[in-house]
Structure 1
Amino acid sequence: VANPWTSDSPEFWELEKQGKDVAARRVKRWAFSLQELLADPVGHDQFSKFLDKEFSGENLKFWEAVQELKCLPQSQVIEKVNEIWSEFLSADASCPINVDSHSHELTKKNMVKPDRWTFDPAAAHVYHLMKTDSYSRYLRSEMYKDYLQGSKKKTSMKGIRSIVSFSGRKDTNS
């Protein structure tokens, strides 16, 4: 059986992310970093549910909207900036986020000449909050512990030897 922890190849992890069964080691990877958690579709979904349960799901929604904004064609940027402002930061926002006054003021100034980076101060603040507060609470939560406990351990690694290469090792099965 191949050991993905000793491989330099990311293919094992990418293949596993696409699988329907969630192995315990995959769930454990979520504890590496918030970025690792959000990169995994199941981890992202679980964290999103946790945030909604804690009434802070708007933080992730805002941060994702800002990331999406950065990838839009220039012709759509101003419209998206206005949508994000209306939804998350305006006085009558439908899904208000809680940012410090400094970040809010910087963002408000950036609205004068909106671009892809208009929300960077607020997005950085929100990401920091999620990383230092929500994420650490999630890792200590029963929700995460239960998911880790119930995650399925893979019993078969059939075909993994062809995916993961181990330089310098000789195959002892030949």
Structure 2
Amino acid sequence: NHRWLGGTLTNWKTISHSIQRLRQLTEQLSDGAKGLTKKERLKLDRELAKLELSLGGIKDMGGVPDIIIVIDTNKESLAIQEARKLRIPVVAVLDSNCDPTNIDYPIPGNDDASRAIALYCDLFSKAILDGLEQANVSAGVDLGEAEDLHVELPADEPKAAPEAEVAAEVASEDNVEAPATT
């Protein structure tokens, strides 16, 4: 149940103070919280858990993003509104029940199936990392000295090629044989 916090983009100054508090609590509790009573430590643990739940995914962001990617535009409409206010481009996967009006870069697709969402996220992350690498090359950065931007994504189980997965998923929905891939 990770919902978008209102003001995450438009009120970044306040959010960044909360992120600083999260880091401070993490550091304080990792040092053992010496000199604190059980009640004080419990209170800090609860505050840390609450901040980690709401800000854990953005605690390493340096500032407002250059672009946002949204999977379910109906659920994340507040994030889209904030991005529009700040003129941040929005890339979104749009299902048949979504309104593409406020989306800068719409991508038609199923935003409900967990395997499709995993595929979109994998493709987005690879495209972003490739783009960053190309930007470094065009800027003249020596790739031998630059840190490696390729990140191995966790693999739960051996998977077929993404195209074969999507074809198999569509085929199972339509009760038709999946086309053979080479």
Which one scores higher on RCO, CA 8 angstroms, separation ≥ 6? 1
TM category (shorter chain) comes to under 0.3
- TM-score, normalised to structure 1's length? 0.24
User: Greater helix percent: which structure?
Assistant: 1
User: Greater strand percent: which structure?
Assistant: 2
- TM-score, normalised to structure 2's length? 0.23
